[in-house]
Amino acid sequence: MSNDTSKGKNDLLTSETTALIAPHSGDVYDRFSKGRKQIILITVSSCCLLMLFTASSLTPVIPQIAEDLKTTGTIVNFSVGLSLFTSAFGGLFWSRYAGYFGRRRIYDLTLPLYFLASLGVAGSRNVPELIISRALQAFGCSAFHSVGEAVITDVFKLEHRGRAMGLYGCLALLGPAAAPLVGGLVSERLSWRIMQAGLGGVGIVMLALIIAYLPETMHPGTRGIDKIDVKNKKARVVFLNPLIPLGLLKSPVLFLSTVGPALTLATDYIMLIPLAYTIGQRYGITNKALLGTLFIPSGLGNMLGIPFAGWLSDHTVKTWRKLRDGQWVPEDRLRATWYGGLYLVPLPTVIVGFVIQFFEGSLGLVFAIGLLLTHGIGMCIAIGPCSTYNVDVMQNRSAEAAAAKNAVRCVIISALIFGILPSIEAIGVALTNMIAAVIALIGFGMVQICIRYGPQLRAWSSIQHTDGSQ
């Protein structure tokens, strides 16, 4: 048994293990054929889709759940915020073990847990049972995002990674786009409980796909267990500190490129979570299925924005690399965030708030839907390149970097979620959205600092980054 208590054991990739194979050599990325890489990408994207579908499946039926469990929408909304917080911890926990045991084994463990927790949500008889089951459900699927990004880093070279991340995000974001509509339809015709039980069944299907199509993708010799096995083949049980990935945020560039996009992403939740209470009530939409359709514009915007953001970030890297005579500066990828972070996120956030509060009738509804679509596109352009940048500069600890990013996002967003409905009730949707837009602009400013001073900050940091031309 090994205990993760010393600094030497905290870093899974020592010079001894990485010496077994050059992590950026062409050979290591040629282990899988182009077709096999696409199958791997679709498989991990499907798991991330399931995670995001689950996170969005209850949002349009919060009023129904509140009525069913004899509570209030604010209390049910608390379960949404708590599940995000649990997801943050879960992502940190599973990413640590993904670096030690490998990516594949984490999927084998988390999908059965997700299945059982989904059945627990479906069978909840009161609020405490709902909160506990939702927390376990979130913990079970929390690995899919960070480990999926790590798999992409394992498989795709730098110049193809942004596009692969774009496709990964596009497929995954089918979840938020479809979940409210599907959840609303199922709840309207049957019950929100049937929806959750069905998600558990999908988890079992995904486990079968993982077993059939996902090999271990970590570069040979880089797993923590590879080194342990050389010394002691019986040393299989380990205890790893799940908070270690947060230590990566001591790197100024990771801190800025993580917290900044998290503040920008918060506008998405501030607008979408209360839709049943804002657009729904304002324009007299009470049917659960129709409420679900209100989420489609944002999801469609995400689906349109993600592949464009992936292409744009790769194009930006190639353009600036050429301008620098072949030298790769990681922060060049972040230049692709400019229009999304400065215009396409904060402006629709402000305008949609005023439209909902002051515009009546079908014209106001059409304006609001169009603004949600624009915001969805801008969101992907603003935060997509940042996600790829994080794994670019932390190639050797990509799962942990992705988990730290997701954890910070979840904590910030879950904290804001608790105040959304009270804020709307106290000061109105227009002022609430103005505050959200200011928060997004602060996040944009943090990313610009990272672009401007990134090389100096990386050189100053004690955290070892992936650097140089690949």
CATH number at residue 117: 1.20.1250.20
**Which tokens sit at 243?**
């908070």
Tell me if 152 is assigned to some domain. Answer: yes
Tokens of 392: 């670019």
**Structural domain contains residue 388:** yes
In the numeric block, which tokens belong to residue 409?
């996002």
Range with top average pLDDT, 36-40, 286-290, 295-299, 442-446: 442-446
- The model's confidence at residue 4, banded by pLDDT at 50, 70 and 90, is very low
The pLDDT tens digits of the residues spanning 194-244 come to 888 888 899 999 999 898 888 887 777 666 676 665 545 555 567 777 777
Residue with structure tokens 């039980």? 197
Domain enclosing residue 287, as ranges: 20-222+243-459
Instruction: Compute the average pLDDT of residues 428-456.
Output: 92
**Residue 237: Cβ within 10 Å count:** 7
Establish if 76 belongs to a structural domain: yes
- pLDDT for position 171: 66
Which of the pair, 145 or 258, is modelled with greater confidence?
258
Domain membership flag for residue 274: yes
Q: What is the DSSP letter of 343?
A: I
Residue 194 per-residue DSSP state: H
Query: What is the overall mean pLDDT for the chain?
Result: 78
Confidence of residue 289 (pLDDT cuts 50, 70, 90): low
266 lies in a domain? yes
In a domain, 440, yes or no: yes
Q: What is the pLDDT of residue 346?
A: 93
* Backbone phi and psi for residue 107, each to the nearest 5 degrees, phi listed first: -60, -40
Q: Are 76 and 66 in contact (CB under 8 A)?
A: yes
1: pLDDT strictly greater than 60: no
- Whether the predicted pLDDT of 25 surpasses 80: no
In a domain, 5, yes or no: no
- Of all helices (H) and strands (E), which one includes residue 35? helix 34-57
Higher pLDDT, 445 or 357: 445
Residue 155 CA to residue 88 CA, distance in Å, equals 25
Task: For residues 78 and 327, give the distance between their C-alpha atoms in angstroms, rounded to a whole number.
Answer: 48
Asked whether the predicted pLDDT for residue 160 surpasses 80, the reply is: no
Number of compact structural domains in the chain: 1
CA distance linking residue 380 with residue 221, whole number of Å: 35
Contacts of 43 (CB under 8 A, 6+ apart): 209, 210, 213, 214
Q: Is the pLDDT of residue 457 over 80?
A: yes
Residue 216 in any domain: the answer is: yes
Instruction: Output DSSP code: residue 61.
Output: G
